[in-house]
């Protein structure tokens, strides 16, 4: 699912449809995207401190989405993150 979501995000970047939240984020620029990642990270923390598991899942989903938008904005891919995780798992990091 993360790969499919990332593909949709990339589509919104290259062919921004009218009214798309993702397209608006790209248009606002990287600073706005970074701000949203930070806001979502804080919301994950707040949810974990007493808002219940369902809310934690919702906020982590929002964080994942905004992190994927940031990757796309910087020309990075989900595969780049996966490669880093693999590197760490292999004991080379």
**Span 2-89: which CATH code?**
1.10.287.1080
Burial class (CB in 10 A: 0-12, 13-18, 19+), 81: middle
Share of the chain above pLDDT 70, in %: 98
Q: Containing H/E element for 54?
A: helix 53-73
Q: What is the mean pLDDT of residues 81-86?
A: 96
**Residue 79 predicted with pLDDT over 60:** yes
C-alpha dist (Å) from residue 16 to 25, 58, 74, 86: 10, 25, 17, 32
pLDDT of res. 93? 55
Compute the distance between CA of residue 41 and CA of residue 59 in angstroms, rounded to an integer: 8
**Residue 48 predicted with pLDDT over 60:** yes
Domain boundaries, the chain: 2-89
Q: What is the mean pLDDT of residues 29-50?
A: 98
């Amino acid at each position: 699912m993360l790969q499919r979501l990332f593909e949709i995000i990339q589509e919104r970047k290259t062919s921004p449809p009218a009214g798309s939240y993702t397209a608006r984020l790209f248009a606002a620029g990287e600073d706005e995207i970074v701000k949203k990642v930070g806001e979502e990270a804080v919301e994950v923390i707040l949810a974990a401190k007493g808002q219940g598991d369902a809310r934690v899942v919702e906020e982590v989903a929002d964080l994942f989405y905004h992190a994927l938008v940031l990757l796309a904005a910087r020309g990075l891919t989900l595969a780049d993150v996966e490669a880093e995780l693999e590197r760490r798992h292999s004991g080379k990091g």
